[in-house]
Homo-oligomer: A and B are copies of this chain.
Amino acid sequence: MQTITAATARQFNPAAVMMRGTATMPRRPTAEDGVRRNFSKGEELYAEGDAAEFFYKVVSGTVRICKVLNDGRRQIEAFHLAGDLFGLEHGSEHRFAAEAVDDLVVVVYRGRHLEGLVRDNPDLGGQLMSSVLASLDRARDHMVLLGRKSAREKIASFLLDIAARLADGDRFDLPMQRADIADHLGLTIETVSRTLTQMARDGLIKLAACGRTVVLNNRDQLEALEAA
């Protein structure tokens, strides 16, 4: 299957779409078509309430999708790593914010009026649908975690998830800090820290480099803990 690149992205430029049905003339590319952009640690790609004009693909680095309640409590819905698509919205506004967890490179696509895009660009539609359904799958699993798992089970699931996505073997570096992990798992930083050090004491994992590097020593036991 064709993957989304700057070239294919041009196929659903709204200008090109509008021209459809009137005449077949060469599209006029805009600056926003599949443009690479860099963000540095902590920068906001878009805020809650911003118009949802673009969507994004991670080239390298990590993005967090989050919402902050009136009193400051925060929930991180998801982390997006290299290759992930994000920023597609149902309505015309972003309902969650997107922020760079570390130094980040993304490709930005113009993508307002998503339903229309899909209708007018069927080939891409399948691919976008696949990506959105994958997000929904992730979201469902995460609801099980948030609603029904203990702190230890949450951490075990999280480590295995991250490892599957960015470890080459059993060792990887966590791109995010404890506060991000806590707000993703519905815990406090203290509980995250305690649980990780306890797991290290139990020999399940090894921690290094300020707790940013993790080595999975006992995948079987972690998977048992996951409580799937």
- The one of B67, B118, B135, B228 in contact with A144, judged by C-beta atoms closer than 8 angstroms, is B67
The answer to whether A119 and B115 have CB atoms under 8 Å apart is no
Known: A71-B227, A75-B148, A77-B140. A115 touches B90 (CB 8 A): no
- The one of B114, B122, B139, B184 in contact with A139, judged by C-beta atoms closer than 8 angstroms, is B139
How close is A47's CB to chain B, nearest CB, in angstroms? 15
List A residues 113-144 near B (Cβ within 8 Å): 114-123, 125-130, 132-137, 139-144
What residue in chain B is nearest A88 (Cβ atoms)?
A: B133
A14 at interface by CB-CB < 8 Å: no
The answer to whether A126 and B136 have CB atoms under 8 Å apart is no
Total chain A interface residues with beta-carbon distance under 8 A: 52
What residue in chain B is nearest A137 (Cβ atoms)?
A: B90
List A residues 15-68 near B (Cβ within 8 Å): 65, 67
- The one of B65, B146, B227 in contact with A146, judged by C-beta atoms closer than 8 angstroms, is B146
List A residues 151-194 near B (Cβ within 8 Å): 183-186
- A142: which B residues are within 8 A, CB to CB? 143
- The one of B75, B132, B143, B227 in contact with A69, judged by C-beta atoms closer than 8 angstroms, is B227
Chain copies in the assembly?
2
Cα A82 to Cα B130 with chains together (Å):
26
Cα A155 to Cα B91 with chains together (Å):
26
The answer to whether A119 and B114 have CB atoms under 8 Å apart is no
The answer to whether A115 and B139 have CB atoms under 8 Å apart is no
The answer to whether A148 and B74 have CB atoms under 8 Å apart is yes
Cα A139 to Cα B65 with chains together (Å):
13
The answer to whether A133 and B74 have CB atoms under 8 Å apart is no
Cα A146 to Cα B147 with chains together (Å):
6
How close is A3's CB to chain B, nearest CB, in angstroms? 13
Question: What residues make up the interface of A, taking CB atoms closer than 8 Å to B?
Answer: 65, 67, 69-71, 73-75, 77, 88-91, 95-96, 114-123, 125-130, 132-137, 139-144, 146-148, 183-186, 227-228
Across the A-B interface, the 8 shortest Cβ-Cβ residue pairs: A147-B186, A90-B133, A115-B126, A119-B126, A146-B146, A122-B122, A139-B139, A75-B144
Report 22 cross-chain contacts, Cβ distance below 8 Å, ordered by A residue. A70-B227, A73-B148, A75-B143, A75-B147, A75-B148, A90-B130, A90-B133, A95-B141, A96-B140, A114-B126, A116-B126, A118-B122, A118-B126, A119-B122, A119-B125, A120-B122, A129-B129, A132-B132, A135-B136, A139-B139, A143-B143, A148-B186
